[in-house]
Structure 1
């Protein structure tokens, strides 16, 4: 891992780790679909000048795989993630989100035909056991709405994983800027039309200084610049490496939820997160081991 890749990994983890905080605040006035629309729209405002300067717009070639990847990259997962935060605290979603690279490993086996080793299966078991442990300890305290929210959020994490896998298989040589732009453009178009009919009053709320400022940070940096970094990491180290952002994101989410939203960080959350981190660490160790073996042979 080069220094530039490490910095990119840390920066993306911080940007995306804060998205749960911004989403929770925006849900006070905005419909989930409207949040995704404005988030992506502001992201486009950030990316468009860059694409024009680099003269990448004429290089954009739409293909079925690019459209599917774009749809799964933001439209579906961001809408589902935003909906789930109506039922869950940000601290819990941050922990569940840490399963993303483990889902990525499973999809790599199924789609990329990656051969799973012993440590891969062990990391998978440990990671899922961590989440199971959290909900086992919560037990009776778990509300039906939290179960619904968890299921919705898990689907969104699978979409994230699938995006990384498909972009590696079909769009590995496509510019990260084009990948990010088409992802945000697709979500802006789909969610924009839905917002116009479902929540037209959101166009009035967005001009409020508080919400406008959040969308600047949330959209331009987390969504616009964030996806450029994500696709850069996918191109440099593969989907599982890029998804290691979720190794750091829960820490950012827990800290922000605890200090800014007054949410509880319980012992079972920390223990479960430790199991998830252990699983991801074993998976990363296996990958480094295989990469070193290829270099030396």
Structure 2
């Protein structure tokens, strides 16, 4: 029950993040957005780490750094670049391909034998992306094939990050994982921001910019990633990645309602197919849980 509640909260936070990033791109570069976003995230995580008396490791190893880099440092920067030329509604649906990449990487990297339902899920997911992209060109709004492909790269990074955490760092506290994710991303993007936009922090003097970062940084990044890692460690990778099942609805509602982005039939078809794909992916797990409950009763 706790995992479901946290999953809903995380979906609301991450589903709205596209809206905040889109607005901030008017005044800040992608690297500057990620830098300040992670700095605000750290402000939330530092007191929690201090309260939990977690031992701080000055250098946790290259494998750890590499995996947490795939959670924010690389994908968040690329995501911000992608949103420069693509609508949030489209990016939100493409973001739902994260579980599909998780299955593909599990098969390719760890020789995991796929279930029949997972193969069906991959087929439906690929078809959903194809329909969405083919119908999004020429209907108004923003759309670029290159930037759509960048979104798929982002979700591939998310999938590798989730697999890596679940496989190698399952026992690491969620707040510690979130702290290092924010720190690595802040440092790497901070260097780029200093070079490309040295006066970026001065934009925080504007109330709308500061307010956006309070939500995007403190809540969506700091609290959000701690929730995500907690779910990953306690509920499993696929359960955590189900956030991509709910978040697109939030993104579409905000994109259409607040940004005036076009709502065409391809978005509905793509989202519907993606939902069926995620259901198919988790069908065996859901079936096993139902049988287990019947046996308990």
TM-score grouping bracket, smaller chain normalisation: over 0.9
Q: Deviations over 1:125-177 (max 9, x none)?
A: 01110111122334566999611111111101100000000111110111011
Counterparts of 1:86 and 1:276, CA distance in 2: 24
Give 1:60 shift. Answer: 7.0
Counterparts of 1:46 and 1:144, CA distance in 2: 34
Moved more, 130-139 or 44-53: 130-139
1:222 counterpart = 2:220: yes
Counterparts of 2:226 and 2:268, CA distance in 1: 31
Q: Which residue does 2:21 correspond to in 1?
A: 23
Q: Which residue does 1:280 correspond to in 2?
A: 278
TM-score (norm 2): 0.94
1:233·1:242 contact (CA, 8 Å) conserved in 2?
A: yes
2:19·2:88 contact (CA, 8 Å) conserved in 1?
A: yes
1:236 counterpart = 2:238: no
CA RMSD of aligned residues (A): 2.0
Q: Which residue does 2:38 correspond to in 1?
A: 40
Aligned residues: 294
Give the unaligned 5+ runs of structure 2. Answer: none
| Pairing of 1:137-176 with structure 2 (within 5 A) | 137-138=135-136, 146-176=144-174
Give the unaligned 5+ runs of structure 1. Answer: none
Moved more, 6-15 or 132-141: 132-141
Cα distance change, pair 138–52 in 1 and its aligned pair in 2 (3 A)? closer
Q: Which residue does 2:203 correspond to in 1?
A: 205
- SS class of match (2:217): helix
TM-score (norm 1): 0.94
- SS class of match (2:111): coil
- SS class of match (1:114): coil
| Pairing of 1:97-108 with structure 2 (within 5 A) | 97-108=95-106
